[in-house]
Amino acid sequence: MKFGGTSMAGSERIRRVANIVRRQQAAGHEVAVVVSAMAGETDRLVGFCREANPLYDPAEYDVVVASGEQVTAGLLALTLQALGCKARSWLGWQLPIHTDNVHAKARIEGIDAQALLTSMAAGEIAVIPGFQGLSDHGRITTLGRGGSDTSAVAVAAGIGADRCDIYTDVDGVYTTDPRIVAKARKLKYVTYEEMLELASVGSKVLQTRSVSLAMKEGVRVQVLSSFIDDDATPADEIPGTLIVSDEELARLTENVDMERQLITGIAADKNEAKIILTRVPDRPGAVATIFGPLAGANINVDMIIQNVGRDKGETDVTFTVPSADLLRAQTLLEAQKEAIGYNRIITDGKVAKISVVGVGMKSHAGVAATMFRAMADRGINIQAISTSEIKVSVLIDEDETELAVRVLHSAYGMDAEGEAA
Ligand code: ADP
Ligand code: ASP
Ligand code: MG
């Protein structure tokens, strides 16, 4: 079971969480619980790091931001004990959860689950702070924002859990963020592939890496709400959204008469920033000198456009990076100005990426055309485009995000009543 930041925000909510956990144990399950920091806490800690040093050392950043989860893990163990349950916390370095050395976005390499299994078999509820791990240099690492989902899936895989229930503040995965589009529909099932693509383009209901890990390890993941009454449908009856393989989906929906939607979902991501380098020499190796140093600094570049060369053998190169990395990227590129040979660097943090996702695209033409037409009709300007086999993304002005998502949700006929499958 994993509980997110909103579910853990304050003693009252932690008591509700403890009750949900206790009920699962009473239903006969052995339970491991992964928790997030209280909502807003990680942002607050990141703020302190920025104030201390804008170009902070990621290793020390990890020491600071991992602390939020330590607090909630201890508090949940205490609250469970107050309810008469046996419980104890297991910090990332105690298990340990082994990660690589890439601070602030570390990858889990393995979990020593034996001690956990022994304690769980003895009836003790294991409470594990999400988001944190231990590098092979013996230092605390964190897994990137939203990383507790990945911790939960990794623990589930490590102990061979039947299911990984991700409790949050919405009761499942919807066709788009239900906080933006009131007419969003709850999905009963989503395949790993679809969820992976949705998460990677901004449906932050699950961290992308948690989905790829679940897919790789075959962990069945359910997204469901922690804001429930005592008489709510039990988690074992799958009241939320189940994320499963294509094969399991086929099995589950065998007797259900349904046509899979062409589009599974729409996502928005405001956490990207645009960088334009003007008048880059139009010759072999030019883009390599731009993107090499960014890769070396672990900055992920997403959309890339290289315009058709201007006269005099020059071209403009436009691309996006995570907003959190914009300052570092800019500093790096400015240091490389001579080597790259560009004229000006222009940055814009006020952009959003809107994406439509669906496996149906593989076999249907016209998905992108519908998108561009719908946006044009509302006067929304498209600054960049990228596509994959099951996704089309466009970059627009951040102020138009909500409008664009609503317009597209209607344009693909997703506003209808009832539940989709
Ligand atoms: P937690 O703190 O529990 O990890 P998050 O804020 O990370 O919660 O994720 C839950 C939020 O994800 C919801 O409140 C919702 O606004 C947002 N969200 C974005 N896209 C979707 C979607 N397609 N379906 C459901 N929720 C979504
Ligand atoms: N607390 C961390 C964050 O806010 C990890 C998580 O909640 O998943 O990013
Ligand atoms: Mg989250």
Q: Residue 149: which of 183, 108, 118, 96 has the closest Cα?
A: 108
User: What is the percent of the chain with per-residue pLDDT over 70, rounded to a whole number?
Assistant: 97
Instruction: State the ligand closest to the CA atom of 35.
Output: 2
The DSSP string of 258-281 is ----S--EEEEE--EEEEEEEEEE
| C-beta of 205 in contact with ligand 1 (< 6 A) | yes
Asked which of 23-27, 107-111, 348-352, 360-364 is least confident by mean pLDDT, the reply is 360-364
Whether ligand 1 lies within 6 angstroms of the CB of 168 is answered as yes
> Please, which residues have CB less than 5 A from ligand 3, an ion?
4, 146
| CA 266 to each of CA 272, 295, 351, 411: distance values in angstroms, whole numbers, following the listed order | 17, 28, 17, 11
Q: Which whole number is the average pLDDT over 384-413?
A: 95
Residue 77 CB coordination number (10 Å)? 23
State whether the beta carbon of 174 lies less than 6 angstroms from ligand 1: yes
Which residue is listed with tokens 């309810």? 83
Residues 375-387: what's their mean pLDDT?
Answer: 95
pLDDT of residue 419: 47
Measure 376 CA to ligand 3 centroid, in angstroms.
33
Asked if the domains 2-252 and 265-411 are classified in one and the same CATH topology, the answer is no
- Residue 140 C-alpha to ligand 1 middle, in angstroms? 27
CATH architecture of 265-411: 2-Layer Sandwich (3.30)
Query: Which tokens is 253 given?
Result: 């929906």
Which is the closest atom of ligand 2 to the Cα of 147?
Answer: 8
Report the C-alpha gap between 154 and 158 in whole angstroms: 6
CA distance 178 to 175: 8
- Out of 137-141, 376-380, 412-416, which region has the weakest mean confidence (pLDDT)? 412-416
Cα-to-centroid distance, 387 and ligand 3 (Å) = 26
Nearest ligand to residue 3 Cα: 1
Rounded to whole angstroms, the Cα distance separating 153 from 165 reads 9
Give the count of beta carbons closer than 10 Å to the beta carbon of residue 70. Answer: 18
Mean pLDDT over all residues of the chain? 94
pLDDT for position 23: 96
Which stretch of DSSP H or E encloses residue 368? helix 367-377
The answer, yes or no, to whether residue 401 has pLDDT greater than 50, is: yes
**Residue 145, H or E segment:** none
d(CA 351, CA 323): 10
pLDDT per position as a tens digit, 152-182: 999 999 999 999 999 999 999 999 999 999 9
Atom of ligand 1 nearest to the CA of 267: 20
Question: 179: Cβ below 6 Å to ligand 1?
Answer: yes
Q: Looking at residues 33-54, what average pLDDT do you find?
A: 97
Helices (H), 274-354: 286-296, 326-335, 337-340
420 has pLDDT over 90: no
Decide the pairing of beta strands 132-135 and 97-99: parallel
Distance CA(360)–CA(338), nearest Å, equals 46
CB 105 within 8 A of CB 67: no
What does the pLDDT average to over 215-232?
A: 95
Q: Which of 145, 205, 213 to mutate to test the pocket of ligand 2 (most atoms within 8 A of CB)?
A: 145
As for ligand 2, residues whose beta carbon falls within 6 Å of it are 4-5, 36-37, 42, 68, 130-131, 145-149
User: CB of 78 within 8 A of CB of 16?
Assistant: no
314-328, 353-367, 387-401, range with the lowest pLDDT: 353-367
Q: Which sequence spans correspond to the domains of the chain? A: 2-252, 265-411
CB 244 within 8 A of CB 192: yes
pLDDT in tens, 174-217: 999 999 999 999 999 999 999 999 999 999 999 999 999 999 99
Is 173 near ligand 1, meaning CB less than 6 Å away?
yes
Mapped onto helix, strand or coil, the DSSP state of residue 140 is strand
Q: What is the mean pLDDT of residues 42-61?
A: 95
Tens-place pLDDT, residues 228-279: 998 999 999 999 999 999 888 888 877 554 556 789 999 999 999 999 999 9
Nearest CA to ligand 2 atom 6: 146
Q: Is the CB of 144 under 6 A from ligand 1?
A: no
Q: What local confidence, expressed as pLDDT, does residue 421 receive?
A: 42
Report residue 22's pLDDT band, with 50, 70 and 90 as the boundaries: very high
Q: Give the mean model confidence (pLDDT) for residues 335-340.
A: 95
Distance 4 CA to ligand 2 centre (A): 8
Domain 2-252 has CATH 2.30.130.10: no
Residue of higher predicted confidence among 219 and 361: 219
Q: pLDDT tier at 309 (50, 70, 90 boundaries)?
A: low
Contacts of 90 (CB under 8 A, 6+ apart): 73, 115, 116, 126, 127, 128
The neighbouring-strand residues paired with 317 are 277, 306
Amino acid at 68: G
Residue 351 Cα to ligand 3 midpoint, Å, equals 22
Cβ contact 344:279 at 8 Å: yes
Higher pLDDT, 261 or 354: 354
pLDDT at 360: 79
- Look at residues 193, 266, 269, 209 and name the one whose alpha carbon lies nearest to residue 420: 266
Q: Distance from the CA of 113 to the center of ligand 1, in angstroms?
A: 29
Calculate how far, in angstroms, residue 370's C-alpha sits from the geometric centre of ligand 3. Answer: 31
Q: Rounded distance, CA 253 to CA 230, Å?
A: 29
Report pLDDT for 326: 96
The 3-state DSSP class for residue 314 equals strand
- How far is the C-alpha of 112 from the C-alpha of 159, rounded, in Å? 9
284-291 average pLDDT score = 93
338 Cα–ligand 1 center, Å? 43
